[in-house]
Amino acid sequence: MKQQPRALFITGADGGLGFALVEEFLRYDIHVFAGFYRSETGISDHRRVTPVDLDVSKPDSIRSAATAVARETESLDILVNNAGVHLEDKRVPLEELDLADGHLERSMAVNAFGPLRVIQAFLPLLENGRSRRIVNITSEAGSIGACRRDREFAYSMSKSAANMATRLLNNYLGPRGFGVLAVHPGWIRSGMGGPEADLSPAEAAARVAGIILGPFPEDGTIYLDQNGNSLPW
C-alpha cells in the first residue's frame, strides 16, 4: 500500500480550481507548496502552505521556483500542473480571430509547454518522493476523438498538446515508478468557466483531489474526467 504523501507542489494556486485544491489538500496531512502567478492570498498564511512565485510561461521563473522549493524540502510526492489560460472569446469564429495578437503563443506557452518545463525542473525532487505522481489538469477540449467545437483554437490545441505531453511522460517515466495522469476537472464556475458552469471550484477540487490522492488506474488509462472516467484521446 502506498504511503501517505508528505509534500506536493501545485501551480496556478491564485484562484478557481487551484485555490480550491490547496484548501482541499489541507484536509490531509500534506505540506503544500503553492505556485502563485499574481499574488499570495490568505491561504498562504496556513502553516502547511508555502507560497512560491511562479510564472509557468517563463523558464527563469520556473527554475527559481524549483530552487526555492528545494531549499525547503528534499522531496516532493506529487506535482499538480494546474496553471492554465483561456484567452479567446468563445463566440468568435475563425474569420474574426486576430491571429497576430499573441493569444496562440501565450496559450501554448502556459497550457502546453509550461507543464513540461515545470516537470523537468521539479523532477529531481519528485524522484526522491514516496508517490512519484504527476497530474496535468487538462480539459475535454483537448480530446480530438470527442471534439465538438468549431472554434476556441488556441485553447483546444494547447490542451491537445498537453495531453500528448502526458502520454509521452507516462511512457518515459512510468518504468521509473512514476504515475502520470491528465485530468479534466469538469466545467467550473470560475473566471475561465464562467457563472453558468456546472461545478463550484470546491466541488471540482474534491473530485480531482480524490483522483490525485487515490489509487491510479491499473489498466493503463491516463486521461480521465473529474469522476475518474476514461476520456477519448
Q: Is 90 tagged catalytic?
A: no
Q: Regarding beta strands 223-224 and 179-183, do their DSSP bridges make them parallel or antiparallel, or are they unpaired?
A: parallel
- Which one from 2, 37, 58, 155 is the annotated catalytic residue? 155
Is the CB of residue 50 less than 8 Å from the CB of residue 10?
A: no
Length of the chain (residues): 233
- Which one from 28, 37, 159, 172 is the annotated catalytic residue? 159
CA-CA distances (angstroms) from residue 27 to 21, 104, 146?
10, 37, 35
Q: Is 58 tagged catalytic?
A: no
Would you name the residues annotated as active-site residues? Answer: 155, 159
